[in-house]
Structure 1
């Protein structure tokens, strides 16, 4: 597989592992298709289906980063509510 030349260094963290794999991927497209077909018969299919261990790792890392930010800035987030003794907001 021919890759385009690097133009944005900020993308290297994401694309270096892809480039290093040399076009090989962890995921098996046939197994991914089977997984999608499987959930068609499930009464309550998942809203988000993550296919592949590499995708699962990336999503979990992203969610952990979001959870960290939420926890770190919770006090500031809550500070934007109307005071408890005030009304429910401006009248219309």
Structure 2
């Protein structure tokens, strides 16, 4: 899949700076970057304090400028740092880290 994360094309840049909470409501950090795949129109990753978090299962609350994740804080804080650009090997490693197929 061809990555495209041009800032002007990424509709998720507005989430940068949002507070991030884990599955139990524990603060994790803030979104410092979003990775968007323009050809598919999908958000792939958030970078939360430099750590990669897959976009699957997140719940954005724009009115409160926060995002809730389906993962515990410890899993996010031990995640690999976000690569630029993410490679296929990186994608596989992050998915394994979060227990995603």
Q: Which is helix-richer, 1 or 2? A: 1
Q: TM-score w.r.t. structure 1 length? A: 0.23
Which protein shows a greater Rg?
Answer: 1
What is the TM-score normalised by the length of structure 2?
0.22
Higher percent of residues as strand: 2
**With CA pairs under 8 Å and 6+ residues apart, which has the higher RCO, 1 or 2?**
2
